[in-house]
Each structure stands twice: as structure tokens, then as C-alpha cells.
């Protein structure tokens, strides 16, 4: 599966639409989970909604478009603001734990989306069923959701995986990891652009095993199309 190659118009539409749906639900789940834990910051900003406009971020959207047409890009939705101090309302005294729960809700939503489409699709195609042009959308919808789940679980700020890692590690690690928030974007971009001779990018080697594992669980031998 090569994200960065020239594509037919129907494939471009399928990828972009998949990004929009997957990212909208991803950000919605961050906002909804924070609200359920006692923080209404995102709710007051209208972020607990499945309206893509509420989660639109122009630079991130341009990245989605670039990927959709076959160029290099990184796409994202508008970050959901969270005030972990409000989690105490629901009895979560450990603010880092609360942030970890909010963070992991996004990738989990992407896995669920992939499974909801992928498992019935696997059964149907295994029985010789074809959905015509919808096959293109279904396949890319599964791929994009698994990609977002695996990529976002990389433990580098500002990705969700960094907050999950901070939540589960012993307290003495926090002062060591906290300064990475300042340099997270820089570290992430370095990993994205480093391409060792004879292999893919470093970042691809990091999220690739998770992506392959999730795809194998949901689609079995069908994964890879």
C-alpha cells in the first residue's frame, strides 16, 4: 500500500472522504470523552458534534488533500482543547490518567470505524460479493482509519500516544518526558523525513507493525488488497 502515488479521481475522492469522516469521529471522541470525564471546555466550543466543519483545520486539511492526490503530506483535524483540572468533578484525581483516557479515545474510534466497515466487508467479499465502485471507498476507509490509529499511537508529542505513555508510566518519568512537549513537532518531522538507505521512513517503521497487526486482525488475508 503506497499512499504517495498518482491516482484516479474516484480514488482521490474516496481517500479524502475517508479522511474527513475518520478525523471528524476521532476529534469528536476526544471532545466527548473529556466531557464525560468532567471537562466541558470542548463542549462549550461546540466540538461535541459530528459536523466536520467544527473540527476543520486548514493546514491539516491541505495535508489530507495532498495525500489524497498522491503527494507527500500530513493531515489532521483541529486539536480538541482539554482542561484536565476539570476531571476532578468525576473523581479522576490523576490528571495525566484522564488525559491518557481522552487521548486514546481517538485512535480507538478509528479502530472501531475500520472494524465496523472491515469485518462485514471481509465476510461479503469472502463470499464473492462485490459492491462495485463502493469497493474503492470501503477499502480506503479501512486503510485510512487504521493508518490514523497506528500513527496517532506513536509516543511522540503532540500525538495521542505521548499522552497515553505519560499516563501509564511511573510518576518519576513525567519530569523527564514533559520537556519533550516543546520539541515534539521537531522530533516528529525529523523521523518523518529520515529515510535510511534501502528501507522506508523511520516513522513508517514505527507505526507499520501496529498498522499491519490491526489490518490482519480485521481483514485477515484480505488485508493489503
Residue % of the chain over a pLDDT of 70:
91
Q: In the annotation, is 139 catalytic?
A: no
- Please give the Cα distance from 83 to 220 (Å, whole number): 40
**The three three-digit cell numbers of residue 170, written as one number:** 511511573
In a domain, 210, yes or no: yes
pLDDT score, position 80: 97
In a domain, 4, yes or no: no
How far is CA 29 from each of CA 153, 183, 189, rounded to the nearest angstrom?
A: 15, 26, 26
pLDDT above 70: residue 38: yes
Q: Which residues contact 105 (CB under 8 A, 6 or more apart)?
A: 29, 30, 32, 33
Residue % of the chain over a pLDDT of 90:
63
In a domain, 149, yes or no: yes
- Quote the DSSP letter at residue 197: T
In a domain, 55, yes or no: yes
pLDDT score, position 84: 92
- Please give the Cα distance from 99 to 90 (Å, whole number): 13
pLDDT score, position 197: 52
pLDDT band with cut points at 50, 70 and 90 for residue 1 = low
In a domain, 3, yes or no: no
pLDDT score, position 173: 77
**Residue of 221, 216, 225, 214 lying closest to 112 (CA atoms):** 214
In a domain, 102, yes or no: yes
What are 181-206's pLDDT values in tens digits?
A: 777 778 887 877 776 554 567 888 88
Q: Note the pTM of the prediction, 2 decimals.
A: 0.90
What are 136-179's pLDDT values in tens digits?
A: 999 999 999 999 999 999 998 889 999 999 888 887 777 777 77
In a domain, 87, yes or no: yes
pLDDT band with cut points at 50, 70 and 90 for residue 45 = very high
- Please give the Cα distance from 64 to 108 (Å, whole number): 20
**Average pLDDT value over all residues in the chain:** 88
- Please give the Cα distance from 163 to 178 (Å, whole number): 10
pLDDT score, position 194: 72
**Residue of 19, 6, 30 lying closest to 57 (CA atoms):** 19
What are 70-101's pLDDT values in tens digits?
A: 888 889 999 999 999 999 766 677 888 999 99
What is the domain range of residue 126? 9-222
In a domain, 49, yes or no: yes
Among the listed residues 27, 57, 139, 205, the single catalytic one is 27
- Please give the Cα distance from 166 to 35 (Å, whole number): 21
Number of domains in the chain: 1
pLDDT above 70: residue 105: yes
Amino acid at each position: 500500500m503506497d499512499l504517495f502515488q498518482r491516482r484516479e479521481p474516484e480514488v482521490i475522492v474516496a481517500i479524502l472522504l475517508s479522511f474527513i469522516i475518520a478525523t471528524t469521529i476521532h476529534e469528536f471522541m476526544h471532545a466527548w470523552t473529556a466531557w464525560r470525564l468532567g471537562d466541558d471546555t470542548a463542549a462549550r466550543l461546540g466540538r461535541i458534534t459530528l459536523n466536520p466543519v467544527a473540527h476543520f483545520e486548514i493546514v491539516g486539511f491541505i495535508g489530507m488533500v495532498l495525500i489524497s492526490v498522491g503527494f507527500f503530506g500530513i493531515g489532521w483535524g483541529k486539536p480538541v482543547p482539554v482542561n484536565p483540572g476539570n476531571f476532578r468533578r468525576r473523581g479522576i484525581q490523576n490528571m495525566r490518567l484522564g488525559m491518557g483516557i481522552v487521548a486514546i479515545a481517538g485512535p480507538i474510534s478509528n479502530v472501531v470505524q475500520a472494524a465496523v466497515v472491515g469485518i462485514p466487508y471481509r465476510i461479503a467479499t469472502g463470499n464473492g460479493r462485490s459492491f462495485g465502485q463502493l469497493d474503492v471507498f470501503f477499502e480506503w476507509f479501512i486503510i485510512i482509519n487504521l493508518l490514523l490509529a497506528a500513527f496517532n499511537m506513536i509516543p511522540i508529542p503532540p500525538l495521542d500516544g505521548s499522552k497515553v505513555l505519560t499516563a501509564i508510566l511511573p510518576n518519576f518519568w513525567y519530569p523527564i518526558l514533559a520537556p519533550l512537549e516543546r520539541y515534539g513537532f521537531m522530533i516528529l518531522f525529523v523521523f518523518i523525513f529520515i529515510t535510511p538507505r534501502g528501507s522506508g521512513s523511520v516513522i513508517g517503521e514505527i507505526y507499520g507493525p501496529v498498522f499491519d497487526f490491526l489490518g490482519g486482525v480485521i481483514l485477515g488475508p484480505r488485508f493489503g488488497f
